[in-house]
C-alpha cells in the first residue's frame, strides 16, 4: 500500500475536481468521487466511496455556534438569520426519484492507521449571497464506524461548519451513469507528477 501525504491528497483532489468541471455541472459529486477513486486505486491507496449528507453552515452561523457553544435551539436560527444572515445549505437531502440519486458522495481513504473523509465536490454549495465559500477538498479524520453505520462528524473549513452524516446503505449511486463512467487517470497522474507510482 502506497503512503501519501495530506498535501498530495489535496493536490490530487483539486486536479480531479478541476477536470470534472470541464464536462460536468458543479453538482457532480458522483463523477468527482468516481474519478478520485480511480486515481487512488491506480496509486495503490486504499479508498472507497461513502454516501453521506452534508449540512454546510455559513460563516455567521459558525460564529454563532462558537459563541454559544452549541447549535441553535427553537427559533434561534431564525433570529440569527435576521441579525447576521446565518444560514445553511444541505447536500444530499430531499426526495429521490428514478432518474436522480438523492445523497452526497465522498471518498474514505485509509492511511497511517486513520480514516479520512475527502469531499472534493463541496464547492457546489458556494454562494456569495449565502456567505459560503469553501475551497475543495474537505479532508477530515472520521471514526471507523463512519463507514459502517450512520455517524456524524463536524468539520470546520474556511470559517464555515460542515456536519457530515454517513449513509452507508444509500448505495444506489452505483446504478447512475456518472458512476459507471471510466475516467483517464493518466491525465491526473501526469499533472500531479505521479505518472510512475511505486
Q: What is the pLDDT of residue 138?
A: 97
Instruction: Determine the Cα–Cα distance for residues 53 and 57; give it in Å rounded to an integer.
Output: 13
Neighbours of 77 (CB within 10 A): 17
Q: What is the pLDDT of residue 95?
A: 61
Question: Cβ distance 63 to 131 under 8 Å?
Answer: no
Q: What is the pLDDT of residue 63?
A: 96
Instruction: Determine the Cα–Cα distance for residues 29 and 125; give it in Å rounded to an integer.
Output: 12
Q: 42: burial class by Cβ within 10 Å (0-12, 13-18, 19+)?
A: middle
Q: What is the pLDDT of residue 179?
A: 95
Q: What is the pLDDT of residue 98?
A: 58
Q: What is the pLDDT of residue 198?
A: 47
Mean pLDDT, consecutive 10-residue segments, the chain of 198 residues?
80 95 89 97 95 96 95 92 94 73 94 93 93 95 96 96 97 93 90 70
Q: What is the pLDDT of residue 193?
A: 84
Amino acid at each position: 500500500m502506497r503512503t501519501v501525504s495530506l498535501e498530495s491528497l489535496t493536490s490530487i483532489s483539486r486536479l480531479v475536481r478541476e477536470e470534472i468541471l470541464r464536462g460536468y455541472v458543479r453538482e457532480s459529486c458522483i463523477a468527482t468521487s468516481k474519478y478520485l477513486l480511480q486515481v487512488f486505486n491506480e496509486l495503490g491507496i486504499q479508498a472507497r466511496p461513502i454516501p453521506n449528507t452534508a449540512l454546510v453552515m455559513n460563516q455567521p452561523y459558525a460564529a454563532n455556534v462558537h459563541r454559544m457553544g452549541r447549535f441553535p435551539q427553537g427559533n434561534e436560527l431564525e433570529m440569527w438569520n435576521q441579525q447576521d444572515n446565518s444560514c445553511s445549505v444541505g447536500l444530499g437531502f430531499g426526495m429521490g426519484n428514478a432518474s436522480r440519486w438523492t445523497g452526497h458522495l465522498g471518498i474514505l481513504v485509509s492511511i497511517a492507521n486513520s480514516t479520512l473523509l475527502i469531499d472534493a465536490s463541496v464547492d457546489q454549495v458556494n454562494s456569495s449571497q449565502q456567505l459560503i465559500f469553501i475551497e475543495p477538498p474537505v479532508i477530515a479524520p472520521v471514526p471507523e464506524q463512519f463507514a459502517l453505520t450512520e455517524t456524524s462528524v463536524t468539520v470546520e473549513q474556511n470559517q464555515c461548519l460542515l456536519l457530515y452524516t454517513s449513509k452507508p446503505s444509500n448505495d444506489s449511486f452505483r446504478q447512475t451513469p456518472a458512476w459507471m463512467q471510466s475516467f483517464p487517470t493518466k491525465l491526473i497522474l501526469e499533472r500531479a507528477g505521479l505518472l510512475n507510482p511505486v
